[in-house]
Chains A and B, each alone.
Chain A
Amino acid sequence: MTSTSRTSIAALPRGHELERSDFALLREQVDAYLRATGDATIYGSAVPPLAILALALTALQAQIWLPKGSLHTGQEVEHVREVDTGDPLTLTGRIAQRSERQGYVISVIELEVSTSDGVALRARTTIMAPGGGA
């Protein structure tokens, strides 16, 4: 993953393009996710779609930090194609919406996770962050 300086999500304007991240999900990362969620399903080599999203959001933390008191208030996700552990993945995204209300900044991040075959997952994540963190 490419490193960059981190910026509070509350400070990012609408239209801000996130830096592309290249990453892969290792078996041990997926296993740790499944243990944490308590999911005993046998997925084989496939990565559970919400694990892709959760770990993509982890990758985003190299660029964005969330001020104390930030809340995840909404989530949309579309699974387009299966991802296997170890597949090279690319994460792209942008701030699709930004508004302010009662001292909080509400940001919608649009994300795409792609494999070499094309888009694997699309997501829209809504975060409400204290404006003072900007």
Chain B
Amino acid sequence: MTGLVQPVVREITQSQIDAYAAASGDDNPIHVDPAFAATTPFGGTIAHGMLVLALIGEMMHDAHGEAWRNSGRLKVRFKAPTRAGDTVTASATPSKPSDGTQEYAVQCANQHGEILIEGRASVSEDGRRRPSSS
């Protein structure tokens, strides 16, 4: 098991948000229509939560590979919007392994240190599923 999780840092641009909307079919105007988004409490477009969450998925896959694909678990809350132009850092803090499972506190934060996504991730050391605990 690798266990070393390196942060992933990426700027989220409007063109990336538009590309994600096209790839996912989620063209909610809060993501892709600046005129509409300007009338919302956000004041402008925001990224899809799943687009930002993908940074955590990439980070965990880079560390655990096949074990992540076969046994990874994520539980997160989207705490704040990610705006076009934000630079997002996904990071993980490991806890002590238990019952063959490595757990992490995971988060995404923007360039101001604001937490955008927060939660937990886990992966089995042998890449096999453990009985669900929740």
Residues of A bordering B, CB below 8 Å: 29, 32-33, 35-39, 41, 43, 46, 48-50, 53-55, 57-58, 61, 66, 68-82
Contact = CB atoms under 8 A, between A and B. Distances in A.
B24 A54 contact: yes
B62 to A, nearest CB: 6
B80 to A, nearest CB: 11
Contacts of B76: 74-76
A68 B28 contact: yes
Main secondary structure, interface of A, reads mixed
Instruction: Give the interface residue-count category, chain B.
Output: 35 or more
Contacts, number: 113
Instruction: Output the residue of B22, B49, B68 with the most chain A CB within 10 A.
Output: B49
A57 B132 contact: no
A36 B16 contact: yes
Contact of B25 (A35, A46, A61, A70): A61
B50 A50 contact: yes
A46 B61 CA distance: 12
B58 A41 contact: yes
A75 B53 contact: yes
